[in-house]
């Protein structure tokens, strides 16, 4: 079994950080786990940035095939960690084995999907406008366009997906695919998992004979390193998944730079679920039976957790609420990721319980020290609209049922929402006209619309959008899951009148990369 060292990984160097300590905690007991992880110093940060900057010109110009093989090698090296990784991740996050194994598969699948995109060449967005020497009054020059990487990318691991959105997760995979070196600031919720995965990536860099600066991992004992990373002029983009406060702090730092850079922060979403009357009439129980497991998935710590339900008052809605309440009362709570997250959840539950306009529909049993008690609350649409504090995310297995007097009021209440990652609609064919009327509004409020389901499953494919209007993300023009995520780290460059010998391979007339090209 691989020993945990507590080291930083700066290129191919491994060293103990000397700027304070970060400890892993046993997610079930809250106990500290040895060894400590040494926090990076400013010098360590500078070293990682210098290596990344010097790796960029080389790494961005290796063939797409070589980058694809690198991503696949990372996936293989992660697989090779075997149960060591699964067990360490379970210990640090409290997530069950099947979930950790599934997430590991997802992480590897993500890397392989991006390898496929690299081989297809789609991400290059190659365009050629051939010269028109005969054009009047002036001849047209030959113009060719491709996309190139932005430069070194800072990635902040997320607490809630210790593999799929952490050291070698979606942000890292898409940045590496784009030709950008990556410096990861490890999340303190799973430092050992981070170290193991970082070792797999570092080994892949070596295996593939790439410049060492392509990847570094830093631990941060006091936020100064994370902030310094975003402020560093050599860093050209930032990927982040976490809280609204955390994300906006990074956005602010990035905007205040001499050269501002994009921050892709996936922050806050309550993921409204709209239950249309005929869906409730025909399958209230079925929806309830799907809803509670979705709410409790990952202890409610999914970004796409269904935190809001909108429906028009009716006997069918009462049936739904009663069925849901009964299931909740039988649902064991799951372990939360960290004692800190648990503490915040308990406080949020108390706020909701004590809110004068909110009623408690049902709460599940309590069990275990840091678990997420499944809870459903209710409020009238009128009160919901009047109380913006009820529109905030409860990070955990709590949801709020917003009871509307009419579909018109439902539409009005939904229009009060801020941007979301997802919005789900449950309906039957009889509801089509009403759904049709609501969908255009939902399109402006969310990045993904789900029919008769919940947003908790996020497929890693080409047509996935895991993004949405502010504050779901800091940049609604993108997605952090799926192949479109690569485009976050690219910019277009146009080449005018260059001879074949000087054109980049992607744009040569002979098309040596065999990629799709659109012609003007």
Q: 464 to 483, contacts with its own copies by CB under 8 A?
A: 464-465, 467, 469-471, 474-479, 483
List the one residue from 285, 498, 508, 511 that touches its own copies (CB under 8 A): 498
The residue (of 11 and 455) whose beta carbon lies closer to its own copies is 455
Among 414, 484, 486, 506, binds its own copies (CB under 8 A): 484
Are the C-beta atoms of 354 and 367 separated by less than 8 Å?
Answer: no
SS3 21: strand
Sequence-distant (≥ 6) Cβ neighbours of residue 127 within 8 angstroms: 144, 145, 517, 518, 519, 520
Surface-to-core class of residue 429, CB atoms within 10 Å of its CB (0-12 exposed, 13-18 middle, 19+ buried): exposed
Nearer to its own copies, 63 or 518 (CB): 518
> Could you tell me which stretch among 13-21, 353-361, 405-413, 435-443 binds its own copies (CB under 8 A)?
435-443
**Nearest to residue 407, comparing CAs of 509, 510, 280?**
280
- Expressed in angstroms, the distance from the first to the final Cα of the chain is 57
> Pick the catalytic residue: 89, 266, 393, 404?
266
Q: Which stretch binds its own copies (CB under 8 A): 6-14, 160-168, 284-292, 452-460?
A: 452-460
Site for its own copies in 262-321 (CB under 8 A): 262
Determine if 491 is a binding residue for its own copies (CB under 8 A).
yes
Residue among 136, 209, 354, 501 that touches its own copies (CB under 8 A) = 501
Residues 105-124 that bind its own copies (CB under 8 A): 122
**Stretch touching its own copies by CB under 8 A, among 28-36, 152-160, 346-354, 454-462:** 454-462
Please count the residues of this chain forming the interface with its own copies, following the rule CB under 8 A: 73
In the bound complex, what is the minimum distance in angstroms from residue 407's beta carbon to its own copies? 16
C-beta separation of 191 from 158 below 8 A: no
Nearer to its own copies, 188 or 304 (CB): 304
The answer to whether 517 and 504 are in contact (CB under 8 A) is: no
- How many angstroms separate the CA atoms of 423 and 459, rounded? 16
HSE-up of residue 380 (Cα within 13 Å, Cβ side): 7
Q: Which of 103, 303, 393, 404 is catalytic?
A: 303
Site string for its own copies, 56-95 (x = CB under 8 A): -x---x----------------------------------
| H or E segment and range at residue 90 | helix 82-93
Contacts of 161 (CB under 8 A, 6+ apart): 103, 169, 241
Q: Has 180 been annotated as catalytic?
A: no
Our finding on whether 450 is near its own copies (CB under 8 A) is yes
Compute the distance between CA of residue 122 and CA of residue 130 in angstroms, rounded to an integer: 20
Q: What angle do CA 91, 95, 97 make, to 5 degrees?
A: 85
Q: Tell which residue, 385, 395, 293, 294, has the closest CA to residue 349.
A: 395
Q: Does 42 bind its own copies (CB under 8 A)?
A: no
Q: Applying CB under 8 A, which part among 76-84, 179-187, 275-283, 447-455 lies near its own copies?
A: 447-455
Q: How far is the CA of 311 from the CAs of 257, 336, 391, 406, 430, in angstroms?
A: 46, 29, 16, 8, 16
Smallest separation (angstroms) from its own copies to the CB of 140: 6
Q: Does 408 bind its own copies (CB under 8 A)?
A: no
Question: Interface with its own copies by CB under 8 A: which range of 41-49, 82-90, 288-296, 494-502?
Answer: 494-502
Tell me the residue length of the chain. Answer: 520
Given the complex with its own copies, which of 133 and 440 has the nearer CB atom?
440
- Measured from the CB atom, the residue of 261 and 362 that comes closer to its own copies is 261
421/442 Cα distance (integer angstroms): 11
Residues 132-161 binding its own copies (CB under 8 A) are: 138, 140-141, 143-145, 148, 150-151
H or E stretch covering 344: helix 339-354
We find the least distance from the C-beta atom of residue 498 to its own copies, in angstroms, to be 5
CB of 166 within 8 A of CB of 188? no
Residue 203 interacting with its own copies (CB under 8 A): no
Query: Of 448, 456, 455, 478, whose CA–CA distance to 170 is shortest?
Result: 478
Please say whether the beta carbons of 490 and 148 come within 8 A. Answer: yes
- Containing 181, the helix (H) or strand (E) segment is none
| Cα(160)–Cα(332) distance, integer angstroms | 19
Among 43, 65, 366, 443, binds its own copies (CB under 8 A): 443
Active site residue 89: no
Using CB under 8 A as the binding rule, whether residue 356 contacts its own copies is answered as no
CA atoms within 13 A on the CB side of 348: 25
Question: Would you say 315 or 457 has its CB closer to its own copies?
Answer: 457
**Does the footprint of its own copies cover residue 518 (CB under 8 A)?**
yes
The Cα–Cα gap between 425 and 439 comes to 9
Separation CA 338–CA 515 (nearest Å): 46
| 231-270 footprint of its own copies as x/- string (CB under 8 A) | --------------------x---x---xx-x--------
CB of 48 to its own copies, least distance (A): 20
Q: In the bound complex, what is the minimum distance in angstroms from residue 137's beta carbon to its own copies?
A: 8
Interface with its own copies, residue 459, by CB under 8 A? yes
Binding track, positions 374-403, relative to its own copies; x by CB under 8 A: ------------------------------
- Choose one: 193-201, 278-286, 405-413, 450-458; the region binding its own copies (CB under 8 A): 450-458
Residue 223 binding its own copies, by CB under 8 A:
no
Q: Which is nearer to its own copies, 66 or 491 (CB)?
A: 491
Q: What are phi and psi of 175, to 5 degrees?
A: -65, -45
Q: Which residues are catalytic?
A: 266, 303
């Amino acid at each position: 079994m691989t020993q945990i060292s507590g080291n930083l990984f700066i290129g191919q160097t491994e060293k103990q950080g000397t700027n304070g300590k970060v400890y892993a905690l046993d997610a079930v007991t809250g106990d500290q786990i040895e060894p400590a992880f040494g926090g990076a110093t400013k010098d360590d940060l500078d070293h990682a940035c210098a290596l990344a900057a010097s790796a960029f010109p080389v790494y961005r110009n290796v063939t797409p095939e070589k980058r694809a093989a690198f991503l696949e090698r990372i996936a293989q090296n992660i697989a090779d960690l075997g149960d060591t990784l699964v067990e360490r991740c379970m210990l640090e996050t409290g997530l069950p084995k099947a979930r950790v194994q599934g997430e590991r598969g997802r992480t590897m699948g993500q890397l392989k999907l991006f390898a496929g995109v690299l081989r297809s060449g789609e991400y290059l967005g190659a365009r050629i406008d051939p010269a028109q020497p005969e054009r009047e009054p002036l001849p047209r020059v030959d113009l060719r366009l491709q996309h190139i990487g932005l430069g070194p990318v800072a990635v902040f691991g997320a607490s809630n997906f210790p593999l799929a959105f952490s050291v070698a997760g979606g942000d890292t995979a898409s940045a590496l695919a784009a030709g950008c070196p990556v410096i990861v600031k490890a999340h303190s919720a799973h430092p050992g998992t981070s170290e193991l995965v970082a070792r797999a990536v570092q080994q892949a860099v070596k295996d593939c004979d790439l410049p060492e600066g392509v990847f570094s991992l830093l631990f941060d004992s006091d936020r100064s390193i994370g902030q310094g990373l975003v402020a560093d002029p050599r860093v050209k983009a930032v990927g982040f998944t976490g809280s609204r406060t955390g994300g906006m702090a990074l956005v602010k730092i990035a905007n205040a730079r001499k050269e501002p850079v994009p921050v892709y922060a996936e922050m806050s979403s309550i993921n409204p679920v709209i239950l249309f009357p005929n869906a409730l009439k025909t399958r209230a129980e079925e929806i309830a039976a799907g809803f509670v497991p979705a709410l409790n998935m990952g202890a409610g710590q999914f970004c796409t957790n269904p935190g809001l339900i909108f429906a028009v008052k009716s006997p069918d809605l009462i049936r739904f609420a009663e069925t849901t309440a009964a299931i909740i009362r039988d649902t064991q709570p799951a372990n939360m990721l960290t004692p800190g997250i648990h503490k915040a959840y308990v406080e949020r539950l108390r706020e909701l319980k004590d809110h004068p306009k909110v009623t408690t529909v049902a709460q599940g049993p309590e069990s275990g020290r840091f678990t997420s008690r499944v809870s459903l609350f209710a409020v009238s649409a009128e009160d919901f609209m009047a109380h913006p504090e009820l529109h905030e995310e409860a990070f955990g297995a709590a949801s709020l049922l917003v009871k509307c007097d009419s579909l018109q009021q439902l539409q009005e209440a939904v229009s009060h929402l801020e941007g979301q990652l997802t919005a789900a609609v449950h309906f039957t064919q009889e509801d089509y006209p009403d759904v049709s009327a609501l969908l255009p509004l939902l399109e402006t409020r969310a990045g993904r619309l789900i029919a008769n389901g919940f947003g908790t499953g996020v497929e890693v494919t080409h047509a996935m959008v895991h993004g949405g209007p502010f504050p779901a993300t800091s940049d609604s023009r993108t997605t952090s899951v799926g192949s479109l995520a690569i485009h976050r780290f690219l910019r277009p460059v146009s080449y005018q009148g260059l001879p074949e010998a000087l054109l980049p391979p992607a744009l040569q007339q002979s098309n040596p990369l065999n990629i799709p090209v659109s012609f003007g």
